[in-house]
Amino acid sequence: MNSDGQIKVWYERAQIDYINQYMALYASFNAWYRELTHKPNDREALNVLRRGIPIWDHYARGLAMHELGSYMTLLVECTQREPLPYATPHWRGEIAHTKDWQSLIEYWYRVRCLVMHGAEIRATYVYLAYETLNIFMGEIIQRARD
C-alpha cells in the first residue's frame, strides 16, 4: 500500500461513529421522557415536552444554555440553510433560533428516526444531535444525583 493509501486508512479509522453513540444516547433520553411524561407513545410524550418542562427554563437562564449556545447557533444555521428531510406535520425541519426548545426536541427525534430507518442524513446533523442531547442528558443525570 502506498503512503496515500495508508494515510487514508488511518484517517478513516480515526473518525468517530456518532451514529452509534447518538442512538445509545437517545435511548437514555427516551427512557427519561417516558418516565417523566407517563405517555404510551413517543408522539404524545414529545408533545408534552414541547409544551415545556421546568428544566428547560433552567437551561434558558443558566450555564447549560451557554454550553448549548455554540451548537445551537450551528443548528440554526444548518437547518435553515438545509432543513432536515422528511419534515412532518409537527415540524418543518428547521430550528428557528438558539432558544427554540420545541424544534430541538423534534430535531433529536427526527435524527433518531432518520438513522433508525436507514435514511440518508448528513454526518454533521448526527454530530450536532449527539452534542446537544449529550449536554442536556448530562444535566438530567447530574440533577438525578443531587
Residue range 125-137, pLDDT digits in tens: 999 999 999 999 9
Which long-range contacts does 32-38 make (Cβ < 8 Å, 24+ apart)?
32/137, 32/140
pLDDT tens-digit series, residues 57-90 = 666 665 556 788 889 999 999 999 999 987 678 7
Question: What's the angle, vertex CA 103, arms to CA 72 and CA 32, rounded to 5?
Answer: 95
pTM score: 0.86
Q: Cell digits for 53?
A: 418542562
